[in-house]
């Protein structure tokens, strides 16, 4: 379950079901993975009710004590830096930072972006329609990158930097993504080129030869340099302008940019091809989706449930407690598994069945509780636009080969999804 190579083959749904039935809260080891050292292990949580309980109870299960990634920060300084990120805070500190950018992601704000999202989606799809084939993972990746760049006020020339930064953070366990470098220096703005000059030429290491956490300040000097340069002259009305006006501490500002770039692109980049693959692999449901535009919203919710984009998130026990009949000690890691919760038979009838008419659909793909995903409305809008546009404007859409999965124990991702369609109209 911990090994990233497992997820390059597929999410272990059968194992999750066995654990839900027999060991819903159980001890999971953290063995050595490549250059990354072994960890102390953690308590895995697999049932829907327990996952929601952990996520809604920060006084028992803290985001701040050890941050939210399974792997412990390398040093006390690294942990302190990460604690200034909204994702790694508990209320009330978390609430203060969340409020600063929340206005950009409300349903009303997203509605104002929907026309641009739909126009952008049509342009992306129509731009390849004449070819009859494409890698949908690459095609879909441009939509969240362009949308986030618009929200942040990132110049169009620098948008590919967002793509590379997100790859390096989320895909550090995958050789194809760990050193992602797709931005063309000649096309970047001067501040983009200045940031690119600071990019590590190889994965940075510590004096003892151990790898630097790619999510740390030392792992992303180019991204943080760019964030400060962008804030010096932010586009009026952008999230960066709001952040610059709030007088955030340096660490808070850098980590807010970090979470917006990574969470705002990577999760959706993998939900989009994963969602299309799920539809194509269920022809009856794809036909229903294609002919019933009114089911677009419910279909997106079922895609999110069936293809949970985030595999896990960590909390740390704030005091001795009990969960699922298991005694958990203060300071121990507690890790919830979203794909397991989203297929819990206690909540979802016939949970392995993909059904775009399913209702209710109480999935936890956007989390639950105080850390419920700030960008959920924006993600849904982009999923609706891209999946509907692809179905409507690419006749005979089908797989054209095997998808290639991301090697990651954190993100349920696709690197490639070859598809084809007819060009006879």
- Which of helix, strand or coil describes residue 240? helix
- Which of helix, strand or coil describes residue 411? strand
Minimal CA–CA distance to 164: which of 176, 173, 177? Answer: 177
Burial class from Cβ neighbours inside 10 Å (0-12, 13-18, 19+) for residue 284 reads exposed
pLDDT of residue 425: 61
* 211-to-67, 198, 425 alpha-carbon distances in Å: 19, 18, 53
CATH code: domain 4-420 is 1.10.630.10
For residue 140 the two structure tokens come to: 């879909």
pLDDT of residue 69: 94
DSSP assignment of 122-189, as one string?
HHHHHHHHTTSEEEHHHHHHHHHHHHHHHHHT--GGGHHHHHHHHHHHHTTTSTTTTT-----GGGS-
Each residue's pLDDT expressed in tens, for the chain with a length of 425 residues: 999 999 999 999 999 999 999 999 999 999 999 888 899 999 999 999 999 999 999 999 999 999 999 999 888 988 999 999 999 999 999 999 999 999 999 999 999 999 999 999 999 999 999 999 999 999 999 999 999 999 999 999 999 999 999 888 888 788 888 888 899 999 999 999 999 999 987 777 777 777 877 777 778 899 999 999 999 999 999 999 999 899 889 999 999 999 999 888 888 888 899 999 999 999 999 999 999 999 999 999 999 999 999 999 999 999 999 999 999 999 999 999 999 999 999 999 999 999 999 999 999 999 999 999 999 999 999 999 999 999 999 999 999 999 999 999 999 999 999 999 999 86
pLDDT of residue 195: 95
pLDDT of residue 191: 96
For residue 35 the two structure tokens come to: 């250059």
Q: Where are the domains of the chain?
A: 4-420
Minimal CA–CA distance to 273: which of 370, 185, 386, 367? Answer: 386
Placement of tokens 């654990």 in the chain:
19
Strand pairing class (61-62; 39-45): unpaired
Q: How far apart are CA 225 and CA 352, in angstroms?
A: 45
pTM of the model: 0.94
Q: Which residues of 47-76 are buried (b: 16+ CB within 10 A; e: fewer)?
A: bbebbbbbbebbebbbbbbbbbbbbbbbee
């Amino acid at each position: 379950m911990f090994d990233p190579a497992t997820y390059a083959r597929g999410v272990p749904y059968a194992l999750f079901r066995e654990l839900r039935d027999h060991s819903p809260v159980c001890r999971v080891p953290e063995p050595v993975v490549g250059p990354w050292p072994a960890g102390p292990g953690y308590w895995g949580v697999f049932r829907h009710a327990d996952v929601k309980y952990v996520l809604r109870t920060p006084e028992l299960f803290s985001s701040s004590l050890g941050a939210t990634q399974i792997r412990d920060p390398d040093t006390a300084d690294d942990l302190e830096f990460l604690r200034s990120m909204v994702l790694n805070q508990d209320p009330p500190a978390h609430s203060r930072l969340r409020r600063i950018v929340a206005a950009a992601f409300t349903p009303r704000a997203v509605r104002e972006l929907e026309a641009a999202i739909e126009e952008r989606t049509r342009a992306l799809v129509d731009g390849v329609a004449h070819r009859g084939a494409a890698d949908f993972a690459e095609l879909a990746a441009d939509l969240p990158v362009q949308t986030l760049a618009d929200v942040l006020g990132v110049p169009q020339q620098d948008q590919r930097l967002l793509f590379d930064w997100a790859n390096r953070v989320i895909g550090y366990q995958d050789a194809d993504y760990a050193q992602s470098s797709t931005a063309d220096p000649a096309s970047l703005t001067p501040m983009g080129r200045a940031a690119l000059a600071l990019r590590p030429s190889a994965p940075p290491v510590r004096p003892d030869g151990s790898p630097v956490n790619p999510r740390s300040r030392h792992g992303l000097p180019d991204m943080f340099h760019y964030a400060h340069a962008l804030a010096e002259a932010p586009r009026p009305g952008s999230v960066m302008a709001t952040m610059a006006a709030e007088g955030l501490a340096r660490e808070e500002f850098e980590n807010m940019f970090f979470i917006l770039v990574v969470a705002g692109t990577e999760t959706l980049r993998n939900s989009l091809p994963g969602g299309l693959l799920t539809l194509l692999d269920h022809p009856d449901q794809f036909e229903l989706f294609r002919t019933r535009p009114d089911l677009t919203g419910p279909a997106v919710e079922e895609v999110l449930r069936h293809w949970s984009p985030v595999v896990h998130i960590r909390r740390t026990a704030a005091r001795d407690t009990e969960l699922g009949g298991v005694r958990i000690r203060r300071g121990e890691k507690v890790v919830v598994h979203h794909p397991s919760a989203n297929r819990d038979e206690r909540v979802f009838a016939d949970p392995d069945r993909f059904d775009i008419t399913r209702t209710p659909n109480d999935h936890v793909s956007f989390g639950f509780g105080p850390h419920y995903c700030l960008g959920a409305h924006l993600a849904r809008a982009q999923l609706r636009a891209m999946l509907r546009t692809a179905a409507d404007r690419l006749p005979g859409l089908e797989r054209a080969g095997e998808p290639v999965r991301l090697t990651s124990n954190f993100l349920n991702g696709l690197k490639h999804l070859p598809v084809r369609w007819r060009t006879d109209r």
